Chain A
């Protein structure tokens, strides 16, 4: 039988291609374009080559911000993942408590990020904030505006408050998918609570945990809005993360070239680290 060969269907991909081109590829190329040039406005550009990259990679300001980012992401992952698992394990599996808990967990995720920042900015204020005032009445010297440690702790607690429920919801989804027979078999085998967690629940949560860690890592590594609202990157540069620094450079100082170079490096770091996380965690699952 003669079959008509017609590959015109490929043109159907064109609209998506255009969309992606305009929303992602072209803007990214603009950034690439800026990163190798210098401008003083008026659409006048000078060729700069790799100077901006060279300068960036030799500036302590960049490395310090990067270090802050990495430490921050490390800490919040170390808190949010175990805490999320713990909460998910203790959530009810049936009855009216299920929707109640789910709504409660979803609430922080529904609040706009700058509002989260505002909530904590006010909450932590020493003069009128519930937290700040209470702490100072208790005699604890807390001031996120002036003390770098307090500022960091505030940002971390805020992030934990905001995002732990994402980990909870993902873990909970993994937990409820475990068939009842597993728990019954464990009972018959005489497994302890810890063994049930270690050999049944944790392996079944492995996939969702991978997603949770990836999402939380990427999001926390790109954190901008909340610390910007609460501390504005201060005191000094103590809570200036890469994104905040980038905006300062691009919008505040109008250094488009260096900012573009930094954007690209930032982007590459996020991609690289996410890839490493993903590879490590999927391989771990396969071998064990």
Chain B
């Protein structure tokens, strides 16, 4: 296990990157703590897989250094870095048995067959494939194949980190849940440093202690699932996380109040700095209260999704979603109020602290 430091890492797929826009991965300066589980969350093409491949050594960063426990490993090969990586599509050696698949990395490193046998049996027990050791790997289901890929990493007891690149893409929905909880368990029991890339917020939020949200080649927020939910530091995090995402309303600020069209919304405080080109008010549908008081809205649709209803409405010509409890009443002349603790103010897409 190791602590991973990304020291001013940048990457470009161009040969001679000059401008900021040449970089697919803008500067990342970040540490991943030893034994913690991280999720890299973001849409396709945001640079999360590039970042993962830089950690594993499959990709050389254009700029910056990578440190494992303070030791510079930027120039080392993936094999020398001693990490494990599980890919989007299961990679197994078709012609080998489950046992031989797991033994492969050890045999390549010249371990004695006694050690190999001990480690492989332990690992197969860990990933719950002990009874299939002598089966051909190719006949297994996708989730079992993914476990073999994982097993090839776990078998090396001194592995520095386990990296996952959207590992549940091809797994059946109900097995996704099983596999994810097994991963969590492995993490709890053995304390591996894990980095998990995904574009699925549920996966990220349930798997990791800390979620790193990436957008257009940079990290926009690092935090616990609840921080990401309550205090998204970038509008992207606001609408990417949550279902439906955060409502964003363009407003004009005036001290501790915001003006939306002809309406005025009271804020819990005033923004410290001024002079932003674009200011927005962000509020999650969970904090929008539908009732007989407040700002008048026009309801466009009501989606009943079981435990609660999503009300799609229009406020001052802007779309607004609100979550109403299952048996919540929808008045004939609906109005909304915003719960002050759910209000976030964004200047040029970045969250601003409000002072009362």
A residues at B contact (CB < 8 Å): 179, 181-182, 184-185, 187-192, 195, 199-200, 203-204, 288
Output the least CB separation between A123 and chain B (Å): 42
Given contacts A190-B79, A203-B95, A288-B95, contact A184 B108 (CB under 8 A): no
* Contact partners of A190 in chain B: CB under 8 A: 79, 105, 108-109
Is B95's CB under 8 angstroms from A185's CB? no
Output the least CB separation between B195 and chain A (Å): 14
CA distance A204 to B58 in the complex (A): 22
CA distance A181 to B96 in the complex (A): 18
Is B104's CB under 8 angstroms from A188's CB? no
* Contact partners of B78 in chain A: CB under 8 A: 184, 187-188
Is A188's CB under 8 angstroms from B89's CB? no
CA distance A220 to B178 in the complex (A): 55
Is A191's CB under 8 angstroms from B108's CB? yes
Output the least CB separation between B211 and chain A (Å): 24
Scan B108-129; emit 1 where CB is below 8 A from any A CB, else 0: 1100000000000000000000
Interface of A is mostly: helix
CA distance A184 to B149 in the complex (A): 12
Asked if B152 is at the interface (CB within 8 A of a chain A CB), the reply is: yes
* Contact partners of A200 in chain B: CB under 8 A: 93
Is B85's CB under 8 angstroms from A185's CB? yes
Is B79's CB under 8 angstroms from A188's CB? yes
Is A188's CB under 8 angstroms from B93's CB? no
CA distance A182 to B89 in the complex (A): 9
- Which of A188, A192, A195 is close to B56, meaning CB atoms less than 8 Å apart? A188
Given contacts A181-B88, A192-B108, A195-B108, contact A187 B77 (CB under 8 A): yes
Asked if B251 is at the interface (CB within 8 A of a chain A CB), the reply is: no
* Contact partners of A199 in chain B: CB under 8 A: 93, 95-96, 104
Q: Give the A-B pair count, Cβ closer than 8 A.
A: 55
* Contact partners of B58 in chain A: CB under 8 A: 184, 187-188
Is B108's CB under 8 angstroms from A185's CB? no
Asked if B91 is at the interface (CB within 8 A of a chain A CB), the reply is: yes
Is B91's CB under 8 angstroms from A185's CB? yes
* A288 (CB) vs chain B CBs: closest residue: B95
CA distance A182 to B91 in the complex (A): 6
* B105 (CB) vs chain A CBs: closest residue: A189
Asked if B24 is at the interface (CB within 8 A of a chain A CB), the reply is: no
Besides A182-B91, A199-B95, 17 other A-B contacts (C-beta < 8 A): A181-B88, A181-B91, A184-B56, A184-B58, A184-B78, A184-B85, A184-B91, A185-B87, A187-B58, A188-B84, A188-B85, A189-B79, A190-B108, A192-B108, A195-B108, A203-B93, A204-B94
* B90 (CB) vs chain A CBs: closest residue: A181
CA distance A166 to B91 in the complex (A): 29
* Contact partners of B94 in chain A: CB under 8 A: 203-204
Is B79's CB under 8 angstroms from A187's CB? yes
CA distance A155 to B104 in the complex (A): 44
* Contact partners of A188 in chain B: CB under 8 A: 56, 58, 78-79, 83-85, 105, 153
Output the least CB separation between A64 and chain B (Å): 41
CA distance A91 to B93 in the complex (A): 23
CA distance A190 to B83 in the complex (A): 11
Most chain B CB within 10 A, of A184, A189, A191, A200, is at A189
23-63 of chain B: CB within 8 A of chain A:
56, 58
Output the least CB separation between B250 and chain A (Å): 43
Output the least CB separation between A93 and chain B (Å): 16
CA distance A192 to B107 in the complex (A): 11
* Contact partners of A191 in chain B: CB under 8 A: 104, 108
* Contact partners of A189 in chain B: CB under 8 A: 79, 104-105, 108, 152
Most chain A CB within 10 A, of B56, B58, B149, is at B58
Scan B54-75; emit 1 where CB is below 8 A from any A CB, else 0: 0010100000000000000000
* Contact partners of B85 in chain A: CB under 8 A: 184-185, 188
- Which of A185, A192, A204 is close to B149, meaning CB atoms less than 8 Å apart? A185
